[in-house]
Amino acid sequence: VLSRQMSMTRPERVANSKRIGSTVQAPLTEKPLSAEERDAAVEDLYWATYLSIVASYAQMFQAIRAVDKEFNLEIIGNLPRIISTFRAGCILQGAMLEPMTKAFEADPDIPNLICAFEKELAAGMQGFRKTCSRLVLGGEAAGVMQASL
């Protein structure tokens, strides 16, 4: 969101860059990646993206849980049905909705949705960290992904 907000202030960014110079970073490495290294980096990026999306969904469901608790809306018991409405045209449609639905069906009182993705966390956390490190060292903005870590 911050990057999007900054992109709306082009005149200010141009003036600032004249004053402080460019913030473009040198590449992380001068040598091109081998095919094997590139494949590993792509796999790491997959996991970083996947797990940051899981974390975002988990955060959303924690917010829903807090609202439900405060206002006694009885939402939590209906989460599988609510999630199914996302498939019907909501911006949140996605392949992850099915495992989320199953997680809440299996354990409506699951403390946090991220607990349902234990295997994925174990498989992808190292790649997630590597990707975030590469992004920081390369001077790339990936705030949501990095905040999800």
> 50-94, pLDDT tens digit by residue?
999 999 999 999 999 999 999 999 888 888 888 887 777 666 667
Q: Which residues contact 135 (CB under 8 A, 6 or more apart)?
A: 141, 142, 145, 146
Does residue 135 or residue 5 have the better pLDDT? 135
Between the alpha carbon of residue 33 and those of residues 18, 25, 96, the distances in Å are 33, 18, 31
Give the DSSP letter string of 92-144: T-STTHHHHHHHHHH-TT-S-GGGGGHHHHHHHHHHHHHHHHHHHHTT---HH
Tell me how far apart the alpha carbons of residues 78 and 64 are, in angstroms, rounded to a whole number.
11
Nearest to 149 by CA among 44, 28, 64, 23: 44
Q: At residue 44, what are phi and psi to the nearest 5 degrees?
A: -60, -40
pLDDT tens for 19-59 read 887 666 666 666 788 999 999 999 999 999 999 999 999 99
Domains located in the chain, CATH noted:
36-148 (1.10.1040.10)
8 A C-beta contact, residue 105 and residue 119: no
Note the residue count of the chain.
149
pLDDT of residue 48: 96
